[in-house]
Structure 1
Amino acid sequence: MQRVTRLSRGLVLAVFALSTLFPFYWVLVSSLKDKHQIYANPFGFPVKWHWGNYADIWQTAHLSRYFWNSLFISACAVAIMLLIGAMAAYVLARREKSGWLYAYFTLGIMIPVHAILIPSFVLLKQLHLLNSHFGLILIYIVSNLSLCVFVLHGFLKGIPRELEEAAAIDGYGRVRTFVSIVLPLAKPGLATVGTLGFLNCWNEYLFAYVLIGSEPSKTLTQGVMALTGQYSTDYALVCAGLVVSMLPLWLVYMLFQEQIVKGMTAGAVKG
């Protein structure tokens, strides 16, 4: 009976792994084919490796410009979001009877981002921030701040107050205690929230499509979508664009993998 259970679990995990990894395999392999090979042999390895797809999208399709735009927007949004979110979560974690204020901050998790699309457009138009990276950064900060406060609040509330009291005895002020004591202990939470925020900003398309119309300011998601035609699409170029868009996400996860695992584990234990 135990053997049957192990076999069934292994089969379920194998099916799940294949269904999860196969799209990545297909995109990577297809990015190295020409458009004729994709239709002739859609799932097999390319007969001839076509590395020119990456050169075409990077130079001809201007994906290099869109790549650096997305990197700048995502990095700035995540950095500011972590700074504001960490300070807000710290105040809420240390303040007595802050339940209503905490609920106000985390209310944004329950509001669909699409509900604020039109108000955001009107607001940025009045502020003359349409077709501006700073306007999009502002929207990304607001849309991800609630999740940041929600996650970091649990981490910071679990840090013993005795550490801050000991730091105060040593002459540390509030700001120095927060920077030197609290933030280092909250690294797993910061890494988790930062990675999730970067993922959301990097993959976001709707706000970028509505708020950014000028060609030099477009993001990578807009550039990849522009590779699809109305009547015909070169899927080799589209897959190459998808691979380029996935590389930073893989790199961020590999760099912060240990901290993310710690953050997820700590969050599960506290939950």
Structure 2
Amino acid sequence: MFGTGAKYAIAWVYALLSVYPFLWVLLTSFKNNDELYRSPFSLPKVWRFENYLEAWSGANIGTYFSNSIVVSLGAVIALILICAMASYAVTRVKPSAAMLAYFTVGIMIPIHALIMPTVIMFREVSLVNSLWGLFLVYIAANISISIFILSGFMRGIPKELEEAAMIDGSTRTGAFFKIILPISKPGLATIATLAFLNIWNDYLYGLVLISNPKLKTLTMGISDLKGTYATQYGLLCAGFMLAIIPVMVMYFIFQEQIIKGMTAGAVKG
């Protein structure tokens, strides 16, 4: 339909449209409001690195950043363990389409429908204004899609590998940890990345469950940088950039595994 030149042109246009907002936020993070209003699309005349220092310490972004890291990494690690065992159980130990459907039905439930019941339940057990509350919510919110993805990946692993390990004297548990998990690294990296992005970028659950300033997450802290009457956009964009860094680092570390996990279904299918 399109020639090679047209495809490259479309790819370049798409890349520019994707990268430009990031570059604009990056450049704006080194400006003050006066310079932003005078020349919003130019390079900063004075590179104001103090915007990052002010956002990190003065605006308390450092505390919010730490809270988000603790909750996000903790929930992702728990999700990997829970979903790996659940996916293995429903696809290889006792394959059951009904059980898999039970686990994955949560994908169809809108997150907004769960807000009020979650707040009421957590208030009863004193998990409001607690990072433990966010930790449990994020696990529950991501477990369905994670099991759905990982079970599809595990279903494609040849049973002969597992049977050979058990013939050699390994237990089913040993086969799971020594055979299935190592082979499932691309799938695990995929669900870990997707879950981390969902948790890291969440604003809604933090807003309804956390009111203590010391327990706010990064998205809530960045929202506080927007003033009622005036906003320091350089400071705000510096907060955005600090929030982007962990996502970029995680992707660059796991990009090979993520690509393998995303394409595994297509290759095996």
Bin the TM-score by the shorter chain: over 0.9
Total equivalences in the alignment? 269
Partner of 1:60: 58
| 1:181-216 Cα shifts (integer Å, max 9, x gaps) | 110000000001101110110000000011011011
Partner of 2:19: 21
The amino acid of 1:86's aligned partner reads A
How far, CA to CA, are the matches of 2:267 and 2:162 in structure 1? 23
How far, CA to CA, are the matches of 1:228 and 1:270 in structure 2? 48
Identity of aligned residues (%): 47
The amino acid of 1:245's aligned partner reads A
Cα deviation for residue 97 of structure 1 reads: 5.3
1:50 and 2:48 are equivalent in the alignment:
yes
TM-score (norm 2): 0.97
Partner of 1:73: 71
Q: In the alignment, is the contact (CA less than 8 A) between 2:89 and 2:95 conserved in 1? A: no
Q: Which of 130, 142, 149 is the equivalent residue of 2:147?
A: 149
How far, CA to CA, are the matches of 1:135 and 1:74 in structure 2? 12
How far, CA to CA, are the matches of 1:113 and 1:255 in structure 2? 30
Local SS of the residue matching 2:223: helix
1:162 and 2:160 are equivalent in the alignment:
yes
Q: Which runs of 4+ in 1 moved over 4 A?
A: none
Cα deviation for residue 227 of structure 1 reads: 0.2
How far, CA to CA, are the matches of 1:177 and 1:171 in structure 2? 10
How far, CA to CA, are the matches of 2:47 and 2:136 in structure 1? 42
Which consecutive unaligned segments of at least 5 residues does structure 1 have?
A: none
How far, CA to CA, are the matches of 1:150 and 1:118 in structure 2? 26
Partner of 1:41: 39
Q: In the alignment, is the contact (CA less than 8 A) between 1:129 and 1:135 conserved in 2? A: yes
Partner of 1:189: 187
1:251 and 2:252 are equivalent in the alignment:
no
How far, CA to CA, are the matches of 2:220 and 2:73 in structure 1? 18
Pairwise CA RMSD of aligned residues? 1.3
TM-score (norm 1): 0.96
The amino acid of 1:22's aligned partner reads Y
Q: In the alignment, is the contact (CA less than 8 A) between 1:108 and 1:146 conserved in 2? A: yes
